[in-house]
Chain A
């Protein structure tokens, strides 16, 4: 299929579901089912354990959920205590600074009408790298 090989495979297609609420809901449902199945297996399977409490049914499931949720909620409370504005340490820190652009190769294609042509993307990338090679040796 020579006509297809001209256009590189677009890996972004793997992730388009994240912007589709219906499909996200479907993935969440799949996760629920997956967890439910694991939980049922845990009830049936006798696992080897180092500690008595670890042996109890659903220990890992509960601790996974509680630990994660607890960390996130506690961290949110911690922020109220330690949050400062971005320039708090400026000028003696990098937080309020812009990264020097001459070190970077910033390319933003959002002005382009449609960003689907990977060929175009490729040419932009190579052009910028070439430019960098000439200009970077200061």
Chain B
């Protein structure tokens, strides 16, 4: 049985990249590898490949089924599109990181056992941080350190969990688990950190805006969706996920609404979209799991598209802050159009991709009778329209004229955005193509009259509400500011407390030292006195007394060491 798998192709290319001096050739490699991987994944037979026996463990490096295939396909597409978008990048560090990161994510979704998953889990953490550090500023370095710390914590928890789980069940296989033992909880929280569960989410909004223009596009695709895959594989139908997911869809929309950095708005929006997927995993019916997979697929595309368009604005103007932007449609109209297509897709406008995927999850929630969750998702859908559907394109390309007249995005960026936008529209018009890739065979028809009618009403009246809040001045203005989130606790509060009590601790720590120093000084002075001419030690001593002193000392040694014997 062959060990070859798409992940190795990426990792080998990442290693090979280091020896290619020509930057353009490296960019070409970055583009070619995902294309080969896409073909490879599409042609793979279902089943387990590449089984390795190691130290009494059976490692399934390559498990191909409906669920892993759809994630591997979209990961390959995302890697290819971001490589096209990053065609101008000559930075070796970013190119290697992108290849290794994408490869590890694909390896992760094919992992049939927890140990293999853990290995790829850690590679994604380590490879991706370089996309943040590649900005090469002090702030980006600090942010990267925080990111790495949390990502590695997730990995350590996963390792701990898988060892405990192995002890309990005797199996390393990565299959559906039930929460209960400490081991499974550790695994669950490890997944939850990467999936940005509420209160474990801050790394996402902190780090994604800190990456490079192209790095953020790459980051947006893999880590969190690998975690969604892991949850869908490991904990389908775990009810707590329904509530976690519902909270995830709701709270980020308020932060997104008032955030100034548009790339951070998109990071909050990403968090909200993950909530929909987590709800789908929690419901766990075949329709709901289909919904999660479909939504992950569409989401990767339109979220990448939105990050690309705002990235292009950053590339041309030097800022992605809403307060510094506005009216850019004049000179960046194509980027504006692509941004609007991404906005329509994420807002689930009929004929765009979000409409055909999000409705699977809402239908599953409705069918299972989760009425409160269903209402939460409905409110969250209106929220998506407000921050991603309207705020992103409005603040960057319309609103008040900021006076900037940047040139249109470079041609390769326009191509990347154009292809991504076409995919969003194509999936929206022909959902059958996407549905044929889904893991479960459940017929679903998104384009019923009632569904289109209700969705258009929701969006139409939400737009009216937008007009209303704009006219009445209730809409929050874009201002230069940051908003504190729960990461304030470990970024401000705890460091401050530690600083405050550290002098006290310092004194406490230094006191014994001072005593010791005093004691040493004192005793050396005494010794000096003893050994000075005519001192006690300078006298001639008899052999008897020498033996006596030796015996006493040895006796003491014996007594003190008695307990240890």
Contact = CB atoms under 8 A, between A and B. Distances in A.
A42 to B, nearest CB: 6
Contact of A94 (B135, B329, B375, B457): B135
Contacts of A1: none
A102 to B, nearest CB: 9
Q: Counting chain A CB atoms within 10 Å of each CB, which of B206, B213, B465 scores highest?
A: B465
A15 B333 contact: yes
Nearest to B380: A67
A53 B378 CA distance: 13
B493 interface: no
A120 B290 CA distance: 49
Contact of A38 (B318, B330, B456): B456
Interface string B91-129: 100000000000000000000000000000000000000
B449 interface: yes
Interface in B227-256: 253-255
A31 B253 contact: no
B543 interface: no
Interface stretch (B64-72, B164-172, B477-485): B477-485
Nearest to B319: A99
Given A51-B366, A93-B143, A67 B137 contact: no
A18 to B, nearest CB: 5
A42 B457 contact: yes
Contacts of B209: 94
Contacts of B254: 71, 74-75, 78
A109 to B, nearest CB: 4
B60 interface: no
Interface in B387-440: 397-398, 401, 403-408, 410-411
A22 interface: no
A129 to B, nearest CB: 6
Contacts of A137: 23, 90
Given A65-B464, A71-B386, A15 B336 contact: yes
Given A94-B139, A104-B213, A68 B460 contact: no
Nearest to A85: B481
A45 B461 contact: no
B285 interface: no
A34 B460 CA distance: 8
A88 B330 contact: no
Interface residues of B, number: 96
A90 to B, nearest CB: 7
Contact of B23 (A18, A78, A97, A136): A136
B531 interface: no
Interface string B365-378: 01101010011001
A48 B461 contact: no
Given A12-B330, A72-B474, A90 B460 contact: no
A100 B137 contact: yes
B453 to A, nearest CB: 6
A105 B382 contact: no
B258 A79 contact: yes
Given A73-B469, A79-B476, A79-B483, A63 B379 contact: yes
A106 B406 CA distance: 7
A64 B410 contact: no
Contacts of A128: 407
A4 to B, nearest CB: 18
B453 A18 contact: no
5 contacts: A50-B369, A60-B461, A97-B138, A110-B404, A136-B23
Interface of A: 10-12, 14-15, 18-19, 28, 31-32, 34-35, 38-39, 41-42, 45, 47-48, 50-51, 53-54, 60-69, 71-76, 78-79, 82-86, 88-101, 103-110, 112, 115, 121, 124-125, 128-129, 132-133, 136-138
